[in-house]
Amino acid sequence: MSQKYNAQEIEKKWQAKWEADQLYRSKVDWDKPKHYALTMLPYPSGDLHMGHWFAMTPSDARARYMRMKGFNVLFPMGFDAFGLPAENAAVQRNIHPWKWTYANMETMREQMKRMGAMFDWEREAFSCDPHYYRWTQWFFKQFYEAGLAYKGEAMVNWSPTLQTVLANEQVIDGKDERTGQPVIQKLMSQWFFRITQYAEELLRYDNINWPDPIRLMQTNWIGRSEGARVVFVADTAAQQPIEIFTTRPDTLWGATFMVLAPEHALVDELTTAEQQAAVADYKAQTSKSSEIERTAENREKQACSRAVTPLIP
C-alpha cells in the first residue's frame, strides 16, 4: 500500500468511475422525497478561483447531506454567460464572443469536475443559449403583462471603459474592480420590477428560519416607511412641480429651502449664467461618487444655491 496520497492519480481514477456509474445523475424516483440544491452559476471568465469554490463548497456539502438522508437530490450546474462583459472581453482579444464564451465554459467545466462536486452535468444550463433565455423572456413577458415590470429612470454605476452598468459590488473606490478604470454615476432609462407591491409580504418572516442579522438586512433593504407624498410648485417660468416624500408632513410649513439632486431637470433652469461653470463642475464631481458616498451622514455638504420665490405646497 502506498504511503503517499497521489491526488492526480487517485482522484482521476475515482472521478472517472463516478461519472461512468452516473453516481450523481438525478433520476425521477417517486418513492423518495425531493431536494433541489442550487448554487450561484459562475461567470465564464476562463478559470476558477478560490471565490468560486468558497461559494460552492457549502452547497455541495448540503446536497451530499440531504442525499445521505435519503432525498432524491437534484444539484445542477451551469454558467451565467450573458451580457456585455463577455462581449467586451472577446472584442479585446479579437475573438468572436461565442467562441470565447464556450471555450471558457469548457475549461471551467473540467476544473469543476476535478473538484469532485456532486453536480449533475446532464442538467447543465448556460444563460447565453436560446433554449435557456427564451424562458427568461417568457418570465419577463408575464411580469410586464401583470403590470409588475415597468420602465423608469435611475442612477447607475456606468463604466465608460466597458460601456456597461456595474453592480455596487463591482465598484471599489470609484473604479471598476476588473479594469481599474473610473466609474461614474449616470441617469439611465431602464426596466424595473414592482417589488414594492410585495413589501408587506417580504417583511413577514413566518416559517423562515433566518438569523436575526439576515432579517435586519432584508428589513433595511426594503426600507419601508410611512409618510406622505407632497407636490411643491416652484415659482419659475416653467412652474415645474417637485414631488417629495416626507415622514413628517407636519413640519412642512417650517421649510425654508429646497435641495435638488444635481441630476434633477430643474437644476439647469434655475442655474444662472454666473453659476453655470460651478454647477457643471459640481455635477462632474458628483458623478464620480457612489450612492453610499453621496448619502453618507458624515459627508461634507456641498452645493450651489440660488434664491427663488418660495415653493408653494
Q: Crossing angle of helices 50-68/97-115, nearest 10°?
A: 50
pLDDT (tens place) for every residue of the chain, 313 residues total: 567 888 888 888 888 898 889 989 998 899 999 999 999 899 888 888 888 889 899 999 999 999 999 999 999 999 998 877 677 778 888 989 899 999 999 999 999 988 889 999 999 999 999 999 999 999 999 999 999 999 998 888 898 887 888 888 788 888 888 788 888 888 889 999 998 899 899 999 988 889 999 999 989 888 888 899 988 876 666 667 788 899 998 888 888 777 888 888 788 877 888 888 888 888 887 777 766 667 666 777 766 666 555 455 5
Q: 162 Cβ partners below 8 Å, 6+ apart?
A: 84, 85, 88, 176, 178, 179, 181
The domain over range 7-133 is classified in CATH as 3.40.190.10: no
Question: What are the distances in angstroms from CA 305 to CA 282, 295, 308?
Answer: 12, 19, 10
Q: Where in the chain is the domain with CATH 3.40.50.620?
A: 7-133
pTM over 0.85: no
